[in-house]
Amino acid sequence: MRHLLLGAILSLAGVVSLPGCLDTQECTTDYRFGINVTVRSASSGAPIADATVVIAEDTYTETLSPIGPPGSYAGAGEREGRYTLSVSAPGFVSPAPRTVVVTGDECHVIGVSVPIELTPM
């Protein structure tokens, strides 16, 4: 009786896990940022480490964190969306806000790199 029950369970598992289903994807535990921004001076190319980089989508707002080398900022961690990106820095003209779209696959967001050049005042 046990062998019959085990066989039925294994048969059912084979039906539930059909080839080509999304559950065949092996996901990692990596944490990925959806938006990666590099801010530089348009005149010198020097990184701007004291910029304020903000993304917004509907009621969600996030100030991106400095990460990695100077002038690099990241946010929207594992969060898909259509964001308005704004950048400002002391002594520089703020560019017009731009739209950044973050998509994802079965496991993670697909990061978008956004280079920003700020013009000195």
Alpha helices in the chain (DSSP H): 2-16
Residues 10-57 have pLDDT tens digits of 444 443 434 444 556 689 999 999 999 999 999 999 999 999 999 999
Look at the pTM and tell me if it is higher than 0.85: no
Fold exhibited by the domain 31-120: Immunoglobulin-like (2.60.40)
**Which residues lie across from 74 on neighbouring strands?**
36, 65
Residues 58-106 have pLDDT tens digits of 999 999 999 999 999 999 999 999 999 999 999 999 999 999 999 999 9
Asked whether 86 and 94 are in contact (CB, 8 A), the reply is yes
- For the chain, the structural domain boundaries read 31-120
What is the length of the chain?
121
**Two tokens, residue 79:** 């969060």
